[in-house]
Amino acid sequence: MDIVTVHNIIDQVERELSKKYGLHLVIHIDPVGFHSMEAMEIMNKIKDRIRKCELIKSMHDFNIVEENENKNVVFDVVVDGNKINKKFTKDKLKKELIEIVKSIDPDLNCHITIYTEY
């Protein structure tokens, strides 16, 4: 098993356990430098577009996971907790991020985790 496969399995375990038990779980491994040219292009396009959002402090753990015929874009963003409010919620931000990804490639599925930093 290669490091990218291990990373993808860990990401899936984090999401499933977080959803099932309502907790925030971190199991961390980053296969740095294993991005394809396609993944780098998509990541750079997303970063260029989210730079304009004052709410987002950073984006990390970007990956494209291919499952069967599906391509899943997986990444985390850190937001400024002092700027989240009732008008601009995490759910609204996630929808906007999905729209950004879909505008780049409508066939991409999104798995986005939003962390709040105060």
Res 29 pLDDT > 80? no
Q: 88: pLDDT confidence band, cut at 50, 70 and 90?
A: confident
Residue with tokens 């009732």: 86
Which of 1-5, 90-94, 114-118 is predicted with the least confidence, judged by mean pLDDT? Answer: 1-5
Which of 32-36, 49-53, 113-117 is predicted with the least confidence, judged by mean pLDDT? Answer: 32-36
Mean pLDDT of all residues belonging to the chain: 87
Q: What is the pLDDT of residue 114?
A: 93
CATH number of 35-117: 3.30.70.1350
* Secondary structure of the chain in HEC code, one letter for each residue: CCHHHHHHHHHHHHHHHHHHHCCCCCCCCCCCCCCCHHHHHHHHHHHHHHCCCCCEEEEEEEEEEEECCEEEEEEEEEEECCCCCCCCCHHHHHHHHHHHHHHHCCCEEEEEEEEEEC
Q: What is the pLDDT of residue 44?
A: 94
Domains of the chain: which residue ranges? Answer: 1-31, 35-117
Res 32 pLDDT > 70? no
